[in-house]
Structure 1
Amino acid sequence: MLKIGITGQEGFVGSHLYNTLGLQPEKYERVPYDKSFFQNPEKLENFVAQCDVIVHLAAMNRHPDPEVIYETNVNLVKQLITALEKTNSKAHVLFSSSSQEEKDNLYGKSKKEGRELLSNWAKNHGGTFTGLVIPNVFGPFGAPNYNSFIATFCHKLTHGETPEIQQDGEVNLIYVGELVQEIINKIEAGVSEEIYHVPYTSTHKVTEVLAKLENYKTLYLENGEIPELKTPFDYQLFNTYRTYIDLENHFPVKFTQHTDHRGAFVELIRLGIGGQCSFSTTVPGITRGNHFHTRKIERFAVIKGKALIQLRKIDSDQVLDFYLDGSEPAYVDMPIWYTHNIKNIGEEELYTMFWINEPYNPENPDTYFVEV
Structure 2
Amino acid sequence: MTVVVTGAAGFLGWHLRCALRAAGVTDVRTVDRAQWSSPAELDAATRGATTVYHLAGANRAEPDELRDANSSLAATLTASLDRTVPTPPTVVFANSIQAGNGTPFGDGKSAASSHLADWGRSRGARIVDARLPNLFGEHGRPRYNSVVATFCDQLARGEEPTIHEDRELPLLHVQDAVDRLVSAADDGSTTDPRFDVEPTSVSAVLGTLREFSGRYATGDIPDVGDHFRLALFNTYRSFTFPHAFPILPVLHADDRGRLFEFARSGGQGQSFASTTAPGRVRGEHWHRRKVERFLVLAGTAEIRLRRLFDEEVVTFRVDGDTPAIVDMPTMWAHSLTNVGDGELVTLFWASPLLDPEDPDTFREPVDHHQVA
TM tier relative to shorter chain: over 0.9
Give the letter for the 1:243 counterpart: S
CA distance 1:306–1:170, shift in 2 (3 Å): same
Q: Report the counterpart of residue 275 of structure 1 in structure 2.
A: 269
Determine which structure has the larger strand proportion and give its number: 1
Q: How does 1:41-190 map to 2 (within 5 A)?
A: 41-63=39-61, 65-87=62-84, 88=86, 90-190=88-188
For each residue in 1:107-164, what CA deviation from the matched residue of structure 2 results, as whole angstroms up to 9, or x when unmatched? 0110011100110011112222111111111111111111111111111111232222
Query: Please, which runs of 5 or more residues in structure 1 have no aligned partner?
Result: none
Is 1:203 the equivalent of 2:199? yes
Q: Report the equivalent of 2:370.
A: none
One-letter code aligned to 2:306: R
Contact 1:255 1:328 in 2 (8 A): no
Equivalent residues of 2:51, 2:91 under 8 A apart: yes
Task: Determine helix, strand or coil for the equivalent of 1:84.
Answer: helix
TM-score (norm 2): 0.94
Q: What residue ranges of structure 2 are gaps of 5+ in the alignment?
A: 367-372
* Residue identity opposite 1:305 in structure 2: G
Aligned partner of 2:305 in structure 1 is 311
Quick one: which amino acid aligns to residue 356 of structure 2? P
Alignment check: 8 A CA contact 1:134 1:197 kept: no
* Mapped contact 1:128–1:191 kept (Cα < 8 A): no
Aligned-residue sequence identity (percent) comes to: 34
Where 1:353 maps in the other structure, the secondary structure is strand
Q: 2 CA distance for matches of 1:273 and 1:126?
A: 50
| Structure 2 counterpart SS, 1:312 | strand
Residue in 2 aligned with 1:243? 238
In the TM superposition, 1:208-357 aligns within 5 A as 208-220=204-216, 222-247=217-242, 249-357=243-351
SS in 2 for 1:79: helix
What is the rounded CA distance, in whole Å, between the counterparts of 2:116 and 2:354 in structure 1? 44
Q: Deviations over 1:26-46 (max 9, x none)?
A: x56212433222101222223
Say if 1:301 and 1:329, in contact at 8 Å, map to a contact too: yes
Change in Cα spacing, 1:103 to 1:174, as seen in structure 2 (3 Å) is: same
RMSD after superposition: 1.6
Q: CA deviation at 1:283?
A: 2.1
Contact 2:276-2:343 at 8 Å conserved across structures? yes
**Secondary structure of the corresponding residue to residue 315 of structure 2:** strand
